[in-house]
């Protein structure tokens, strides 16, 4: 049985439960430690990078310093090795030096000076003459012009005489022999032919022109024969057979000897022709007396 009450409203709204929601978010508290950790991490990372850069820079400086120390050590080792080599060379040079103070021949000569000075002087001159090639002394040319003379010179059979200011050394003899040898070769090949001087006689203001037919038709000149270069002290001679009377050959030789006399060894005079000259001795052929013969 249903009983209705009249005092109660038929439609009563139900009460809703009130919930107090906070406006503040519940995630604010947990985020604070995370932000602090992140900040510390950034600072630590920055410090780590700075420390790494500093360490890298220090490592580079250390390697450079170590390399410089090693290079200095190598230089010192090289200097020590060079000093040792130079010391050994000096010591070896002292060993190879000859003790000239204990030369028995020189001691004998000096010991006889008081008893017989003239004999000692003669022996010293002989020693110098025999060993003159081993005595080193500076030798240059002469500023005085070389004298050139002619004495019945025959192109087909004559001597050319040389007089030097001093006895020529081996190097001087080699130079003069080479010059005479070159002179003979050029003359033997017909290089000194005054009949065919097309270029030297042509005008300088025109373009050079050579006529081959004219050069081939010129009478050739040939150096026939030449002897050995003989030396006695400061005198020398050489026999020549030029064949044809060609003055250009003589000019070429005189020009070469003039330069040799000026730059290398002084030649006092050169004489063309003649069977005798100064104190030349025909029967003297001993090398001990300062005589020598050289092939041309």
- 220-267 pLDDT tens trace: 888 999 999 999 989 999 999 998 888 999 999 999 999 999 989 999
**Is residue 48 assigned to a domain?**
yes
Q: Rounded distance, CA 236 to CA 162, Å? A: 5
Question: Alpha carbon 145 to chain centroid distance?
Answer: 33
Domain boundary pick from 62, 79, 97? 97
Tell me which of 82, 97, 112 is where a domain ends.
Answer: 97
Rounded Cα distance between 173 and 185, Å, is: 18
Considering the domain architecture, whether residues 62 and 175 belong to the same structural domain is answered as no
Q: Is residue 15 part of a domain?
A: no
Q: For 17-33, how does the pLDDT look when each residue is reduced to its tens digit (9 = 90+)?
A: 444 444 444 444 444 55
Indicate which CATH number applies to the domain containing 170: 3.30.70
Flag whether 245 is in a domain.
Answer: yes
Q: Are residues 145 and 277 in the same domain?
A: yes
**Which tokens belong to 171?**
């190097």
| Three-state secondary structure of 49-118 | HHHHHHHHHHHHHHHHHHHHHHHHHHHHHHHHHHHHHHHHHHHHHHHHCCCHHHCHHHHHHHHCCCCCHH
Q: How far apart are CA 33 and CA 85, in angstroms?
A: 77
Q: How far apart are CA 157 and CA 273, in angstroms?
A: 9
The answer to whether residue 35 is domain-embedded is no
Number of domains in the chain: 2
Is the domain of 182 the same as that of 45? no
The answer on 185 and 240 residing in a single domain is yes
Specify if 222 maps to a domain.
Answer: yes
In contact, 132 and 143? CB cutoff 8 Å:
no
Does 276 lie in the same domain as 146? yes
The full length of the chain comes to: 296
Of 32, 64, 97, which closes a domain? 97
**Does 163 lie in the same domain as 86?**
no
Same domain, 82 and 151: no
Q: Please check whether residue 19 lies inside any domain of the structure.
A: no
- Tokens of residue 114, six digits: 């008081």
Question: Quick one: 252 and 158 in the same domain?
Answer: yes
Q: Coil, strand, or helix at residue 195?
A: coil
Distance between CA 280 and CA 232 in Å, rounded?
A: 7
In a domain, residue 260? The reply is yes
Enclosing domain of residue 49: 41-97
Are 190 and 286 found together in one domain?
yes
Residues 166 and 84 in one domain: no
Burial status of residue 238 (CB atoms within 10 A of its CB: 0-12, 13-18, 19 or more): buried
Q: Is residue 27 situated within a structural domain?
A: no
Token duo for residue 129: 């003459």
Which burial class, exposed, middle or buried, applies to 188 when counting CB atoms under 10 A from its CB (0-12, 13-18, 19+)? Answer: middle
Domain identity same for 223 and 89? no
Please list the pLDDT of the chain residue by residue as tens digits (296 residues).
Answer: 454 554 444 444 444 444 444 444 444 444 455 454 555 555 555 555 454 555 555 556 666 666 666 665 555 555 555 555 555 555 454 444 455 556 777 777 777 776 788 888 888 888 777 776 665 555 568 889 999 999 989 999 999 999 999 999 999 999 999 999 999 999 999 999 988 988 888 888 888 899 999 989 988 888 999 999 999 989 999 999 998 888 999 999 999 999 999 989 999 999 999 988 988 988 776 666 678 999 99
> Dihedrals φ, ψ of 272, to 5°?
-100, 120
Give the contacts of 236 (CB within 8 A, at least 6 positions apart).
Answer: 161, 162, 164, 168, 176, 229, 230
In angstroms, the CA 201 to CA 198 distance is: 5
Q: How far is CA 33 from CA 26, 43, 54, 242, in A?
A: 14, 16, 31, 123
pLDDT at 129: 75
Phi, psi for residue 150 in degrees, rounded to 5: -125, 135
Is residue 87 located within the same domain as residue 146? Answer: no
């Amino acid at each position: 049985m249903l009983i209705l009450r009249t005092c109660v409203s038929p439609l009563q709204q139900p009460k809703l439960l009130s919930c107090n929601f906070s406006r503040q978010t519940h995630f604010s508290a947990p985020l604070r430690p995370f932000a602090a950790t992140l900040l510390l991490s950034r600072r630590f990372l920055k410090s780590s990078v700075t420390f790494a850069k500093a360490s890298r820079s220090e490592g580079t400086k250390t390697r450079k310093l170590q390399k410089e120390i090693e290079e200095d050590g190598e230089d010192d080792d090289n200097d020590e090795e060079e000093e040792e080599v130079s010391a050994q060379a000096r010591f070896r040079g002292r060993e190879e030096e000859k003790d000239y103070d204990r030369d028995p021949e020189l001691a004998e000569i000096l010991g006889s000076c008081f008893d017989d000075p003239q004999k000692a002087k003669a022996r010293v001159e002989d020693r110098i003459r025999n060993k003159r090639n081993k005595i080193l002394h500076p030798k240059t040319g002469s500023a005085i012009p070389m004298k050139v003379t002619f004495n019945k010179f025959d192109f087909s059979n004559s001597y050319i005489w040389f007089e030097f200011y001093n006895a020529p050394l081996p190097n001087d003899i080699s130079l003069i022999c080479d010059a005479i040898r070159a002179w003979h070769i050029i003359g033997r090949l017909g290089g000194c032919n005054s009949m065919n001087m097309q270029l030297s006689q042509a005008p300088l203001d025109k373009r050079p022109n050579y006529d081959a037919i004219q050069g081939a038709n010129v009478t050739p000149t040939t150096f026939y024969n030449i002897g050995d270069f003989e030396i006695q002290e400061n005198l020398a001679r050489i026999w020549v057979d030029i064949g044809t009377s060609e003055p250009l050959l003589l000019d070429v030789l005189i020009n070469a000897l003039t330069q040799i006399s000026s730059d290398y060894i002084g030649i006092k005079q050169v004489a063309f022709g003649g069977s005798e000259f100064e104190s030349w001795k025909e029967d003297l052929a001993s090398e001990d007396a300062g005589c020598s013969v050289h092939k041309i």
